[in-house]
Amino acid sequence: MPGDWAGCARVLTPLTRRLPKFPAIITGMAIAETSLSHVYPLGARLNAHGVLELGGCDALQLAREFGTPAYIVVEDDLRERARAYIAAGRAAGHEDLAVVYASKASACTALLRLFAQEGLWCDVASGGELHLALAGGFPPERLLMHGNAKSLDELRAALRHRLGLIVIDNFDEIERLALLVGEGELAGGSDRVARAAGGIAQPVLIRATPDVRGDTHEKISTGQANSKFGFGMEEVPEAIRRVRAIAGLELQGIHAHVGSQLLELEPFRRAAQQLSQLGVFPTWDLGGGLGVAYTASQHPPSIEDYVGAVVGAAREYLGEHSRLLIEPGRSLTANAGVTLYTVESVKRNVSTWVGVDGGMSDNLRPMLYDASYEAEVVDRFGGDTPCVLAGKHCESGDVIVREALLDNPRPGDVIVTPVTGAYGHAMANNYNGVPRPPIIFCSGGDARVVVRRESFDDLNLRDVA
């Protein structure tokens, strides 16, 4: 990968430079490659021909070779952000900080393998994510299971694999775990997971809802009192009492997650302050939630500032020597990825409608959360034609970017939308029978498929009649 950003503390401070209106193409002179705003993956730039380059790979060639739509992920970006988290923990002077990747953000095996190699932990929110995390090579002791509606099978799997932590969400789950680790019929005969009998108790956390709201979309806000997640603050003492009464469970501490895509640090501090009422514990897990820039005008706190703030709050309110867990998802993967589309049609009525070959099957975020994205023609950045970037799906809500500025787009153009590395592939679907895109990893000028494109035959694969 280009050495210009390999040291990385520097690149993780967002580049605030805006693109020039037109790429700097200066004939007859050495042409300066143009670096892009901080929404793009680390090291992304316009090459000497004004074409977007990602991980050293030309975006037009990527589109030609792998087809579109395609998720392009810059491998070194993922690695550097993982390292930035670990380094930030060290810089903040925390002796025992575990960085737990929230795999719901993106759970492809290659990406999980990379984070496992970098020494992260991983959180899974279902049996399927557990399966993927194990396939990615995470040792079970570095896995943590979440869920407000865990099934018996999911709890059994968590116990059988001896996960590092199970985060208990509700009283029914305490009862289920009591039965599974004890003599309960629920676990059923030979299928019983009798941990207590073997003298090894399952480490657990209790999830609390700290009654703290961050400024984010209501669908991804979780810390408020009326939440489907966790125990209310007033219920936590009873939950603690019940868990401590079960020999097969070892209560290590408390978990809370305020919400996602938070662009301010204050809610994390308030959550720690609230949780301090609950007592003294060897482990605290303050969840994930650090927001990212989807557009160049957004400037989220850096990883370093976020970790510094969380460590500081934990020190102030939760005690100097407890183990601290944080669960970043989006901030590890979002900006590492972009989506490439091909323009299929351009229609002018009240607006200019640019129809591309993907849409709400590969990026549901604009439709679910009114999320804003940027878009560019990959070889003509800096356009000024106001366009609506629309998907190919059969409904009017299928709009990827409501106010895109593109350079005279026409059929065949390749379009990039940055910041699709989190909750893009993870929430992809087959609406209108559209096959899901591949994931291509790029590094040092090489590109490789790590998840292949779905085929039409894949769409029938599960039919049994």
3-state secondary structure of 124: strand
When asked if residue 418 is in the footprint of ligand LLP (CB under 6 A), the reply is: no
- DSSP state letter for 25: -
CA–CA gap between residue 338 and residue 52 (Å, rounded): 11
Tell me the site size for ligand LLP, rule CB under 6 A.
Answer: 21
- Residues 147-206 touching ligand LLP, rule: CB under 6 A, are none
**Is 442 among the catalytic positions?**
no
Among 365, 380, 392, 436, binds ligand LLP (CB under 6 A): 365
Listed in sequence order, the residues at least 6 apart from 310 whose beta carbon sits closer than 8 Å to its beta carbon are: 265, 268, 272, 286, 324, 326
- Residues 217-236 touching ligand LLP, rule: CB under 6 A, are 220
Q: How far is the CB of 60 from ligand LLP (least distance, A)?
A: 28
In this complex, which beta carbon is closest to ligand LLP, that of residue 246 or of residue 310? 310
Q: Which residue has the tokens 């408020």?
A: 224
When asked if residue 253 is in the footprint of ligand LLP (CB under 6 A), the reply is: no
When asked if residue 267 is in the footprint of ligand LLP (CB under 6 A), the reply is: no
**Catalytic residue, candidates 57, 122, 387, 394:** 394
When asked if residue 369 is in the footprint of ligand LLP (CB under 6 A), the reply is: yes
- DSSP state letter for 187: T
Q: How far is the CB of 331 from ligand LLP (least distance, A)?
A: 6
Q: How far is the CB of 33 from ligand LLP (least distance, A)?
A: 31
Q: Which of 289, 173, 285 is nearest to 231 (CA)?
A: 173
- Residues 109-128 touching ligand LLP, rule: CB under 6 A, are 123
- Residues 304-343 touching ligand LLP, rule: CB under 6 A, are 327-331
CA–CA gap between residue 35 and residue 44 (Å, rounded): 6
When asked if residue 79 is in the footprint of ligand LLP (CB under 6 A), the reply is: no
When asked if residue 94 is in the footprint of ligand LLP (CB under 6 A), the reply is: no
- Residues 14-73 touching ligand LLP, rule: CB under 6 A, are none
Q: How far is the CB of 102 from ligand LLP (least distance, A)?
A: 3
Do 81 and 12 meet the contact criterion of CB atoms below 8 Å apart? yes
CA–CA gap between residue 364 and residue 161 (Å, rounded): 33
Do 184 and 178 meet the contact criterion of CB atoms below 8 Å apart? yes
When asked if residue 383 is in the footprint of ligand LLP (CB under 6 A), the reply is: no
Q: How far is the CB of 25 from ligand LLP (least distance, A)?
A: 36
Helices 171-181 and 236-244: angle between axes, nearest 10 degrees: 0
In this complex, which beta carbon is closest to ligand LLP, that of residue 261 or of residue 335? 261
In this complex, which beta carbon is closest to ligand LLP, that of residue 287 or of residue 301? 287
CA–CA gap between residue 86 and residue 119 (Å, rounded): 9
CA–CA gap between residue 317 and residue 321 (Å, rounded): 11
- Give the length of the chain: 465
Do 181 and 246 meet the contact criterion of CB atoms below 8 Å apart? yes
Positions that interact with ligand LLP (CB under 6 A): 102, 104-105, 123, 146, 220, 257, 260-261, 287-290, 327-331, 365, 369, 423
Which residues are catalytically annotated? Answer: 394
